[in-house]
Structure 1
Amino acid sequence: MGTHYRLKPADSLHYLPASEYHPANTRFHFSFANYYDPDNMHYGVLRVVNDDDVKPHSGFDRHPHKDMEIVSYVVHGHLTHWDSATQQEEVLSRGDAQAITAGSGVWHSELNNHDDWCRFLQIWILPPKQGLDVRYHSHHFSEQDRENRIAHIVGSIKNDDAPLQLNQDINMYVSELTNSDAEVSWSLAAGRQAYISNIEGSLAIADLPTLNARDTLEITGPVTLTFRAPEQHAHMIIIEMPEWPEDE
């Protein structure tokens, strides 16, 4: 098969501004809600990446999910999460993540109860089968966990080293490069593909296009990637999964 890639610039994302009825300025990476493009439905088992800027004292009130695995990653501010599995509220801050297997059905809410805006990525993963047991876990990641290194934040339940696990064969990594001398490398195996989104800053990738803020790269293995921050700062997420024939 060999390595190939596709750049998705930030201005290609579908943008929905906040309104009286919608609490967030949202950039849809894939078809979602009022945005539908039959040629942009998913990337492998990655079904949704929504980049939400949530207005103060607003958010997504209690709503149901079923037969989906969901990861939220907080970029800025604070996100108050409640779910029917734990019946508890939890406040997530920058760098924190939560993972939910909605499975047979779960209700949850994501609210910004603070005076500052909140930005978070909501990522939906297609599960390996329907009707899975509901699972919810969260983890606080410090700045040091990802600073000038690649942190493995989500893995399969078969992996013991990732703090958060899903049933799907998938891995998520984050890294925040804080100076132009920092350099990190990461390898993608044959038969695997990755969705790399530069959340903040400018991300230089050896032998590939530079990613500006909110730019994304779809790439297949085998390949080893080396990342730098030529403008002193870059914050990225890597979502790695099996390669699908239709995504070739």
Structure 2
Amino acid sequence: MKKIIHKAEDRGFANHGWLQANHSFSFASWHNPEKVHFGALRVLNDDVIAPKMGFGTHPHDNMEIITMPLQGILKHRDNMNTEWQAVVPGEVQVMSAGTGVQHSEINGSVDEHLSLFQIWIIPEKRNVEPRYDQKRFNANARKNKLQTVVTSFKDADNESLKIHQDVKISRIDLSKGTSFKYKLKSEKHGVYMMNIFGSIEVEGDILDARDAVGISEIDSFTVTSYSDSELLCIEVPMLKL
């Protein structure tokens, strides 16, 4: 088994006033040569955006982008659909940038902060046709069991959102004192698991809120919760950049 531990306080941090951003991997002006990517996972940003503020229109290409609001209202607009679309907690948004897309992401509330995770996945094929999708997932369906929210177009799971990479992105809400076994897709995959909140143990290591572990070169491993906890699991091919 290969394992890396990323503590919450060791993430990159940027305070832009309207945006408080924590970076699990090198991003923008923050660079850590030991934290550039985890396999095909290139970005995991933990952002808090002030009311009425956000990211103005900007471009992306050849990246699979997943956004998960945790609190507040996200408003999205792009050059594929110029109407503002709301994305709220419980929903997940995916966008294949492909040959190029222009989009805006803003806090749709005038008085509440927006908290979200933004995930970038390196695609398995370049220059695909850009696309956008979003879907609501019932929180009750992830109580003490994995709820898969994003997979590859090649995956048979027809309940999940789709991107151009052999991934499995899932969430699980664990009750205190609960254990579960995580089984990886293949020996070529690894999983980056962030403890959104609570306290868990993963193969002998304690993870508190926003701590993360990356595990590869193993078939399965066990997670035990010491308190009610919520986990985000991002399983990806272990690409070497």
**TM superposition score category, shorter chain reference:** over 0.9
Amino acid at match of 1:176: D
User: 3-state DSSP class of the match of 1:87?
Assistant: strand
On the 8 A contact 2:86/2:108 being kept in 1, the answer is: no
Identity %: 30
Q: Paired residue for 2:217, among 205, 216, 221?
A: 221
Write the distance in 2 (CA, Å) between the matches of 1:133 and 1:223. 34
Amino acid at match of 2:134: S
On the 8 A contact 1:154/1:171 being kept in 2, the answer is: yes
1:180 corresponds in structure 2 to 176
Write out per-residue CA displacement over residues 161-194 of structure 1, whole angstroms, 9 at most, x where no aligned residue.
Answer: 14211111111011112x3143332212322111
On the 8 A contact 1:150/1:184 being kept in 2, the answer is: no
2:166 corresponds in structure 1 to 169
2:106 corresponds in structure 1 to 111
2:73 is the counterpart of 1:69: no
2:10 is the counterpart of 1:12: yes
Q: TM-score, normalised by structure 1?
A: 0.90
Write the distance in 1 (CA, Å) between the matches of 2:90 and 2:143. 11
Compared CA separation, residues 69 and 140, structure 1 to 2 (3 A): same
1:125 corresponds in structure 2 to 121
On the 8 A contact 1:191/1:222 being kept in 2, the answer is: no
Gaps of 5+ in 1: none
User: 3-state DSSP class of the match of 1:94?
Assistant: coil
Write the distance in 2 (CA, Å) between the matches of 1:82 and 1:245. 33
Write the distance in 1 (CA, Å) between the matches of 2:44 and 2:204. 22
Compared CA separation, residues 38 and 181, structure 1 to 2 (3 A): closer
Higher mean C-alpha displacement, 216-225 vs 23-32 = 216-225
Question: Which structure shows the higher strand fraction?
Answer: 2
2:224 is the counterpart of 1:236: no
Matches within 5 A, 1:29-48: 29-48=24-43
User: 3-state DSSP class of the match of 1:210?
Assistant: strand
Cα root mean square deviation, aligned? 1.6
Q: Per-residue deviation at 1:245? A: 5.4
Write the distance in 2 (CA, Å) between the matches of 1:106 and 1:4. 36
Gaps of 5+ in 2: none
Q: Per-residue deviation at 1:77? A: 1.6
2:141 corresponds in structure 1 to 145
Dislocated runs of 4+, deviation >3 Å: none
User: 3-state DSSP class of the match of 2:207?
Assistant: coil
2:83 is the counterpart of 1:88: yes
Write the distance in 2 (CA, Å) between the matches of 1:79 and 1:147. 25
Amino acid at match of 1:67: N
